[in-house]
Amino acid sequence: MRLYRLTNQERAGHGFTHQFVIEGSELTAAAVTQTVNLVTIAEASFVDDQIVARIDEVFAGPAANLLVEVGVTADPDYRIASSELKTSKAVGDLYTTIPATTGCGDVTSDNVYTAKFTSSSGNLSATTNTGKVSIFMRIVSNSELGSLTQA
């Protein structure tokens, strides 16, 4: 997994601060699921509710379905529910967040955001060898929020 901190120009264009890129060749689990840790959020930070997953390259392999979920360890589909990366999908297809019920970006003791991949048949290592998905998030830490001083 590659992490990109987006430039000020990119942030101004779409509002996201981080891009996580995961390629099919990284899915090496000898199981039908594999979880990739994206980021651990510090207590003095928040994650915006709006998270987007974009197919950069359609996934290949024999499995009929390959799903991705984005969330936290205890709730893998907390932000993006099971989203198909293979069947009838095209480069540029987007998945966005499900409505949050706990408020904007609450940081709790479960602060590790993950991408969980699930294959409908066979081990991930045998079913995915090409493909790429980008996950965009807006993560802001308290230190990035400047304070104004009164004149």
- The model's pLDDT over 40-53, given as tens digits with 9 standing for 90+, comes to 887 777 888 889 99
Check if the beta carbon of residue 17 is closer than 8 Å to that of residue 6: yes
pLDDT tier at 103, thresholds 50, 70, 90: very low
CA separation for the pair 8, 145 (Å, rounded): 14
Question: Which residue from 107, 137, 113, 94 is spatially nearest to 6, judged by alpha carbons?
Answer: 137
pLDDT average, residue stretch 117-122: 84
pLDDT average, residue stretch 60-88: 83
Q: What DSSP element (H or E) covers 53?
A: strand 52-57
Residue 12 CB partners (closer than 8 Å, separation 6+) = none
Residue 102 CB partners (closer than 8 Å, separation 6+) = none
Domain 2-100+111-140 top-level CATH class:
mainly beta
Domain segments of the chain as ranges: 2-100+111-140
3-state helix, strand, coil in the chain (%, to 5): 10, 40, 45
Check if the beta carbon of residue 52 is closer than 8 Å to that of residue 95: yes
| pTM of the predicted model as reported, rounded to 2 decimal places | 0.86
Q: How many CB atoms lie within 10 A of CB 20?
A: 21
H helices of 43-141, in order, are 124-127
